[in-house]
Amino acid sequence: MEEPSGRRATWRIAFSIVTTTIWLVFILYWIGFLWGRFEVGQNIASLCISSVAFAGLNALVWAIRPTRRM
């Protein structure tokens, strides 16, 4: 398997950094402000769903392969 070239990987790395930051802010916001409004099971489910969505989105971005060569 070929390693992605620098230009093709740059946007993926930037996307991963941005989505990780957004996800961590969401987790901190949820724990800090919304945790008390829901039951423990609902809180855990919300955090698990957000983790799966975050991982799925990043996996999708990293799985996309350019079809043309530069």
- Domain-embedded: residue 51: yes
The per-residue pLDDT for 65 is: 67
**Cα 64 from Cα 8, distance rounded (Å):** 11
Question: What pLDDT, in 10s, does the model give residues 13-54?
Answer: 999 999 999 999 999 999 999 999 999 999 999 999 999 999
- Domain-embedded: residue 59: yes
**Cα 56 from Cα 4, distance rounded (Å):** 20
Q: Per the structure, how many domains does the chain have?
A: 1
**Cα 63 from Cα 57, distance rounded (Å):** 10
- Domain-embedded: residue 53: yes
**Cα 7 from Cα 70, distance rounded (Å):** 10
pLDDT class of 7 with cuts at 50, 70, 90: low
Answer for the pair 53, 26: CB distance below 8 angstroms, yes or no. no
- Domain-embedded: residue 6: no
- Domain-embedded: residue 32: yes
Domain that holds residue 40: 13-63
The per-residue pLDDT for 9 is: 79
The per-residue pLDDT for 64 is: 81
